[in-house]
Chains A and B, each alone.
Chain A
Amino acid sequence: MNRTLALVLGAIIVIAAALLPLWIGPFYTRVAQLFFFSAGMAIAWNILGGFSGYWSFGHTVFIGMGAFSAAHIVHRLGPLGDGPLSMIVPILLAGLICGLFAAILAYPILRLRGIYFAIAMLGVSQVVGELVNNVSWFQGGIGVFLQTPVPSGTTPEDFFYYIFGGLLLLCFLISIAVRNSRFGYALLSIREDEDTAMMLGVATERYKIMAFVLSATLVGIMGSVYGYSVGYFTTYTVFRLDFSLNLIVFCLIGGIGTLFGPIIGTAVMLFITQVLLSRFLDIHLLITGAMVVAIILLMPGGIIGALRSRKRQANQVEPVEAEARA
């Protein structure tokens, strides 16, 4: 796409998003806020899972760790600054803690591949969740408070709408930067064939760890803000298996490994579950499951993948091997 056109379009979308809360009611502001939060995390997941092909089934560990880190920092050190600015230090420290944890974990766990890595991450998230829940120092069982310093004159939903919107933009820009850098190409080469990449001199170990730490830091930051936005949470509010799985579903529906895939997938999925089916809470799982199955069987590359292959089909004959394999 033309660069200036993309920039102009991007600016229009950002401005439109900034003005949106003036028009829509509090409920839809909350839905939009949830969308920003989920899409931001899906992008962060995609940096690791989509670009380098290491599907983590336990990213909720970083949401929980971020939220609990922020709460404990505020609780034990007292408020650092006044008003909304007091959120900055706890959020950044929470991101740092998640990044450090990921850096320590990265070396052993990234030696595992494919399904083994996925399940090991699931295990990590369960272990950390249980420890936070049962070791009394963390107070995961009884829950922690994280007061929000909402500036006077705005409602909490508007306030968090803008914060999550800003974070989504940040994640998206980072994702673009990664995708177009040497780092991003290294990750793609790891996804395509890790052994060959290593043989050709790509420092796979280092790049994998970098992607893991980056992804963890971003999710940790989002998690700490999520902690602020709910105000009071226990272990089970933030260490949730369905958080981890939703991130994967969002990316899968949009198109794993693409820039826009996570955003589109999140938008589609949230629109279906939160808006169209907001009255049918008891069949959400059924719908999500059916969507997942349908996407895999009908368009394995997600929405973006389906659009791309349609574009390609215009000037290409259907490959014969694909027919033979099916």
Chain B
Amino acid sequence: MTLFLQTVLNGLVLGGIYSLAAVGFSLVFGVLGIVNLTHGIFVVAGAYGALLFFGQIGIDPLVAIIPIGLVLFAVGYVYQRTIIQWAVSRASLVASLVVTFGVAMMARNGLQLVFGPDVHTITPAYSFMSLTLGPLRMDVVRLVALGASLVLLVVLALVLARTHFGRAIRATAQQPLAAELSGLNVRNLHGLTFGLGAAMAGASGAIIGIVQPFTAASEVAWTLNAFIVVVLGGIGSPAGALVGGLLLGMINAFTAQYIGPSLTQAAMFLVLVLMLLVRPSGLLGNAFGESR
């Protein structure tokens, strides 16, 4: 029983991180209809950013989230307004998928050239502490990571639900033409949404950096994780990302505990394929409704 509860706890913590790492991907997919294969790069870039801030100036990764988020927001905005916008208008929406894939290859290679192919970890002072609750144990970093993920997800959900900016994003996602006719600058909003997605990915990267080791090559895994989370949970909403992320975390933890740690990838993809066949729009469906 203890083992079971411990596994649930591990799954929840892992799931929280998956959710945050995927929510930007989900938002971009839902609003722009673009499958952004560069997403994992933003996550890994966030982790490297946190590494730089921590190693060079000694800033805690959780504080570094703010500058990292701002930088990646700008990068994401410019990237969408230039390369992705060009690809969509000159070729097609599917072509944009391939473009993001090409950019991801370049960026991964670039990161490898700058930081080397070694595995990095960030170890703040609290990284070796752990809490015990009866027979259950949990590292403090993991709890901090889960807490930070939940806070950021709630903030994003509130922004989307309550602010004018959030309403504008949702309107753009539902009916781009109608949104434009109502006086919204759709192109600009697309850029801003993409920037927001990149910033969330960067923030998750900073948190992932303190919990897990990372390399430039782990971007592939983070992109795929984001896709699986979206397929499991649903497109476009923080709630969908949370549901999908927690589910993925559970699948991962339970497979590692009860079947074998080397089969987690296989289990995740098996669930992905089954889910695609049964309900491709995810458990919570597309947040932006029937219009697309």
Contacts and interface: CB of A to CB of B under 8 A. Distances in A.
Contact of A122 (B95, B98, B224): B224
Interface stretch (A110-118, A161-169, A266-274): A110-118
B269 A123 contact: yes
Which of the four size classes fits the interface of chain A? 35 or more
Interface in B78-119: 83, 86-87, 89-92, 94-95, 97-99, 101-110, 112-113
B107 to A, nearest CB: 8
Given A133-B262, A134-B260, A300 B103 contact: no
Contacts of B108: 285
Interface string B258-279: 0010110110011011001100
Contact of A252 (B90, B98, B105): B98
Contacts, number: 113
B280 interface: yes
Name A's interface SS: helix
Which of A108, A285, A326 has most B Cβ within 10 Å? A285
A325 interface: yes
Which of B86, B87, B105, B280 has most A Cβ within 10 Å? B105
A55 B107 CA distance: 24
Which of A111, A123, A284, A291 has most B Cβ within 10 Å? A123
A115 B280 CA distance: 11
A114 B273 contact: no
Interface string A286-326: 10111111001100100000000000000000000000011
B35 interface: yes
Given A108-B277, A252-B98, A286-B110, A293 B83 contact: yes
B241 to A, nearest CB: 17
Contacts of A127: 265-266, 269-270, 273
A176 interface: no
A127 B268 CA distance: 9
B99 A285 contact: no
B109 A283 contact: yes
A130 B98 contact: no
Contacts of A300: 90-92, 95
Nearest to A326: B89
Which of the four size classes fits the interface of chain B? 35 or more
Given A131-B266, A286-B110, A292 B101 contact: yes
A325 B86 CA distance: 11
A82 interface: no
A55 B97 CA distance: 12
Contacts of A123: 269-270, 272-273, 276
B220 interface: yes
Nearest to B99: A296
A109 interface: yes
A241 interface: yes
Given A122-B224, A286-B106, A289-B106, A112 B266 contact: no
B227 interface: yes
B260 A286 contact: no
Interface in A93-136: 108-109, 111-112, 114-116, 119-120, 122-124, 126-127, 130-131, 133-134
5 contacts: A123-B269, A134-B263, A289-B105, A292-B102, A300-B92
Given A112-B277, A134-B263, A285-B112, 15 more contacts: A115-B94, A116-B231, A119-B276, A123-B273, A126-B266, A126-B269, A130-B266, A131-B266, A285-B106, A289-B106, A292-B98, A292-B99, A293-B103, A300-B90, A325-B89
Complex A-B, nearest 5 residue pairs according to Cβ-Cβ distance, in ascending order: A292-B102, A289-B105, A289-B106, A300-B91, A130-B266
Interface of A: 55, 108-109, 111-112, 114-116, 119-120, 122-124, 126-127, 130-131, 133-134, 241, 245, 248, 252, 282-286, 288-293, 296-297, 300, 325-326
